[in-house]
Amino acid sequence: MTVQDVISASGAGFARPRSFYAPAKRALDLAVALPAVLITAPLFAVLALLIKLDSKGPVFFRQTRIGFRGRAFDILKFRSMRVLENGDTVVQATKQDPRVTRIGRFLRASSLDELPQLINIVKGEMSLVGPRPHACAHDRHFSPLIVNYARRHDVKPGLTGWAQVNGHRGETPTLEIMRTRVEHDVWYARHAGLALDLKILLRTPFEVVRSRNAH
């Protein structure tokens, strides 16, 4: 059974976004992401060099994730670990994880490893705000265990989200922790709007500085 089958089986249909919201959200995404890609290009180059000097492997980490209405896409990150997991088994990073590289610890603590997802946003695969997309292996595992898990896919996945600005980011070692995160994601999917998106965007820098559960 594919991830899309699991998601479809765990909930009936997908919610239809309000007609004005989708184009307005897309316009906001492009208005922020396109200039950000250009402005951060020098930073991209510096981080790419540091990653190559620090450890063997590619600069970018690609992993298949499930996005809006069950559509698969390859998420982009700066590589922060020595492994490139993208299969049936994906092990979450833990505190003091030996797989994390030296530069990777800085990238993860500062959330700079997520910067390449600006490209995913420009391509329309992600949005600035939405539920963080999980690894396919985790979707398969948690979809049957958590009620309304599929509702996360009623909206595009995001660079930041309601769960993250409320402290639910990073490792999810227990089912209850994941359930709490998903509850926040589902709440966002049901209440999504430009005012809420702007609120989340304004709160995100403060959460990044706090570095709660970032490792």
Q: What is the mean pLDDT of residues 167-192?
A: 93
The alpha carbon dihedral of 209, 202, 16, 127 has a sign of: negative
For the cut 80, the answer to whether the pLDDT of residue 3 exceeds it is no
Counting beta carbons within 10 angstroms of the beta carbon of residue 65, is it exposed (0 to 12), middle (13 to 18) or buried (19 or more)? buried
Predicted local distance difference test score (pLDDT) of residue 19:
74
**pTM confidence score:** 0.88
For the cut 70, the answer to whether the pLDDT of residue 132 exceeds it is yes
For the cut 60, the answer to whether the pLDDT of residue 119 exceeds it is yes
pLDDT tens digits for 7-53? 554 444 555 556 789 999 999 999 999 999 999 999 999 999 999 99
Q: Which of 194, 187, 73 is nearest to 134 (CA)?
A: 73
Instruction: Please give the residue that has the higher pLDDT: either 5 or 102.
Output: 102
For the cut 60, the answer to whether the pLDDT of residue 157 exceeds it is yes
Q: What is the mean pLDDT of residues 183-193?
A: 96
Residues 6+ apart with CB under 8 A from 173: 92, 94
Residues 6+ apart with CB under 8 A from 61: 76, 77, 78, 79, 80, 81, 84, 113
- % of the chain at pLDDT higher than 70: 89
Predicted local distance difference test score (pLDDT) of residue 74:
97
Predicted local distance difference test score (pLDDT) of residue 93:
82
CB 106 within 8 A of CB 115: no
pLDDT tens digits for 74-109? 999 999 999 888 877 888 888 788 999 999 999 999
Q: How high does pLDDT run on average in the chain?
A: 90
Predicted local distance difference test score (pLDDT) of residue 211:
66
Helix or strand (DSSP H, E) at 160: strand 158-160
